[in-house]
Amino acid sequence: MWMNHKNPTEYLIALSLLAGIALSCGLHHTASALPLPIPAAPPIQAQSYVLFDPESQQLLAQQAPNERMEPASLTKIMTSYVAFHELSDQHITLDQMVVISEKAWRMEGSRTFLEVNSPAAVRDLLIGIIIQSGNDASVALAEHIAGSEASFIDMMNHYAQLLNMENTHFMNASGLPDPQHYSTAYDMALLIRAIITEFPDYYRWYKKTTFTYNGITQSNRNQLLIRDSSVDGVKTGHTQSAGFCLVSSAVRDNRRLISVMMGTKSDEARISYSASLLNYGFRFFENHRLYARNDKLVEAKVWQGAAQSVPLGISDDIVVSIPRGHYERLKASVLLPKTVAAPVAKGSQIGSVIIKLGDTPLLQQPLISMAEVEKATYGANSLTKQH
């Protein structure tokens, strides 16, 4: 036990690691193994990038992850995410027909080649957005969902707030340049994680390599899909001011990583840098599930309670991404208040669990009471009877 000298009302208790099972096929640790030196991330010439593990929600490599950048057509990832929610809530259906407005038809840049005043199915608009990066399809779908693109933008920004995309603000559904239209590499990683987690059936569309509409076949601009069979998405973006951007995701040995590349100088650069970053993450890092949801980690003594203690656990699994072979350096502890007074409601936060790799903090997660403890009305655990 260690007292927390900065705050004498709290104290630390060391925990044993309950698991240590690497969450990738073929990975294991041995106590006698010499830890593998971890090289730096590969050199990448981009204005901003991240390598994100969606299970542990850790950044494995980064450069200016929270710098506000022009997202270009990466914007359409949010356009699709809003549409997926509308489909899930049954506000629209894939087979609904949308009459294409003149505004949508006149959109410049990448297009699905919709015809003005002609009907198009919601399904085709979505696939046109995902595969062809259609600006016309983006506006048409936005107008169908919200009545106008302006109202749809409010929905986009609402979902950005819900996902804690703190440095993101949208001004249109397609990604055309605007001084107040921006996002970050980290925020884009959070958005992709949400799509993969919440809408896996729709996410599969991001792996499609071609789409034909109105007799015109176009290829997916994400050529990493062709070069690497483990890659199953996600989206390219490009304007002269934004440079070449690419969000990629891949699964190897049942483990997923997300790469976000913003502001590179060419299509080839965004592809090769993304491939190098993904290879780096899969090669040199592994995941460990340390504690499972609803596991009891510790008990806290309760003052004047009907029970003398309350069990504390976690509301979500604790998974960490660490350099391969460094499991023995993991340390776990819980930070508890010195006094827990009754009554205690079930699900209330009491302290936190802290995970470190050596002396480097990895995460701190709330501890949750797993039972209710009422205030004592009599007995040895109460100083006075309650009337």
- Cα(274)–Cα(42) distance, integer angstroms: 10
Active-site residue among 48, 56, 101, 133? 133
Reported as type and span, the H/E element at residue 335 is: strand 330-337
Q: Which of 157, 128, 132 lies closest to 140, judged by CA?
A: 128
And the tokens for 269? 């650069």
The answer to whether 73 is a known catalytic residue is yes
Q: Are 348 and 338 in contact (CB under 8 A)?
A: no
Q: Are 384 and 370 in contact (CB under 8 A)?
A: no
And the tokens for 85? 């929610």
Active-site residue among 73, 138, 174, 274? 73
Active-site residue among 56, 76, 274, 369? 76
Encoded amino acid at 357, one letter = L
For 90, the 3-state DSSP assignment is coil
The answer to whether 338 is a known catalytic residue is no
- Cα(340)–Cα(348) distance, integer angstroms: 11
The answer to whether 56 is a known catalytic residue is no
Distance in Å from the first CA to the final CA of the chain: 38
CB atoms within 10 A of CB 202: 19
And the tokens for 99? 């009459």
- Cα(280)–Cα(298) distance, integer angstroms: 37
And the tokens for 61? 């490599």
Query: Pairing relation of β-strands 231-239 and 243-252?
Result: antiparallel
Radius of gyration over every alpha carbon of the chain, rounded to an integer in angstroms: 25
- Cα(14)–Cα(21) distance, integer angstroms: 20
Phi, then psi, of 272 in degrees rounded to 5: -70, -40
Q: Which of 322, 128, 148 lies closest to 210, judged by CA?
A: 128
Burial class (CB in 10 A: 0-12, 13-18, 19+), 132: buried
Residue 344: strand pairing partners = 373
Q: Are 348 and 312 in contact (CB under 8 A)?
A: no
Q: What positions carry a catalytic annotation?
A: 73, 76, 133
